[in-house]
Amino acid sequence: MSDARITDQEFALFQRLIYKLAGISLNDTKKDLLVGRLGKRLRHFQLPSFASYYRMLATGDHPNEVQVMVDLLTTNETYFFREPNHFEFLRAEVVPRRRNGAPLRVWSAASSSGEEAYSIAMLLADTLGDAPWEIVGSDICTRVLARAVTGHYGLARTEGIPPDYMRKYCLKGVRSQAGTFLIAPELRQRTRFFQLNLMQPVDTVIGDFDVVFLRNVMIYFDPPTKARVVHNLLPRLRPGGHLIIGHSETLNGITDRLITVRPTIYRKP
């Protein structure tokens, strides 16, 4: 925790900035969180106040610092096979009804450090056999994406991975890598990550998807931002494809362009 103090006016500046950049709504109860996360940047630059840090960001003299601030203000909690019924839905409903011949494409649209994308990869590798598939993971936070690309995690993160997936798709580290594991190369080869801000329209170059996971990110957004984010990514979901959101989230009142299949799972007509 930093010893820096923040005034209400300074906090309001950062609330507006992170809302504008990432769509993240920080309510007044998040003051301590912001001071804790950004206080170290004040110390790093030996700045006397949050107002001076804000000015530094606004002048553009340290262009990389804006990304550092965004990275620090995102919450990246995630784990393998989080909310398992979504993976069961993939196995039971999506895989058996896939389009003949075409690769099954899944997008983990707020992938954090990659656990969600690699959980999907394990399930597709297991259920699709030789049939083609690919996964795209994206996030606004560059720090977690760098981690995702490596596919390298601590063994403490394996809770939730079924034991046979652990055997088939996770390589346990030895010697200097003891206590860690690596996602198998044949899964990493089919899983790509890149930075994408959900607030921006999505470039068609990313391609179209059979399933989009948009889980546990809309909790940080207000209703207009949720609507904008869903509007941005819906063009990339194929007709008949599914959008899956987190268990504590809903699209009620956000869009009428999707059919509810069951709570948190939607289909594009």
Ligand X SMILES: C[S@@+](CC[C@H](N)C(=O)[O-])C[C@H]1O[C@@H](n2cnc3c(N)ncnc32)[C@H](O)[C@@H]1O
- Among residue numbers 171 through 210, which ones bind ligand X (CB under 6 A)? 197-199
User: Long-range CB contacts (< 8 A, 24+ apart) of 249-255?
Assistant: 249/215, 249/216, 249/218, 249/219, 251/226, 253/223, 254/223, 254/226, 254/227, 254/230, 255/227, 255/230, 255/231
Question: Any contact of residue 74 with ligand X (CB under 6 A)?
Answer: yes
Question: Any contact of residue 39 with ligand X (CB under 6 A)?
Answer: no
With CB under 6 A as the contact rule, which of the stretches 42-50, 72-80, 84-92, 258-266 interacts with ligand X? 72-80
Nearer Cβ to ligand X, position 73 or 258? 73
Q: 């965004």: which residue's tokens?
A: 70
From candidates 136, 144, 148, 218, binder to ligand X by CB under 6 A = 144
* Two structure tokens written together for 197: 């801000």
Question: Any contact of residue 23 with ligand X (CB under 6 A)?
Answer: yes
Dihedral angle over CA of 57, 60, 61, 66, nearest 10: 50
From candidates 25, 49, 67, 76, binder to ligand X by CB under 6 A = 76
Nearer Cβ to ligand X, position 176 or 204? 204
Question: Any contact of residue 249 with ligand X (CB under 6 A)?
Answer: no
For helices 63-73 and 31-45, give the axis angle rounded to 10 degrees: 150
Helix (H) / strand (E) element for 70: namely helix 63-73
Nearer Cβ to ligand X, position 85 or 197? 197
Q: Could you count the other beta carbons within 10 Å of the beta carbon of residue 49?
A: 14
Give yes or no: 28 in active site. no
Sketch the per residue contact string, 97 through 136, with ligand X: x for CB under 6 A, - otherwise: -------------x-x---x--------------------
To 5 degrees, how large is the angle CA 21–CA 244–CA 233? 45
Give yes or no: 37 in active site. yes
CA–CA separation, 90 and 219 (whole Å): 23
Nearer Cβ to ligand X, position 4 or 237? 237
List active site positions. 37, 139
- Positions in the binding site for ligand X (CB under 6 A): 22-24, 74-78, 82, 110, 112, 116, 139-141, 144, 197-199, 215-217, 220, 246
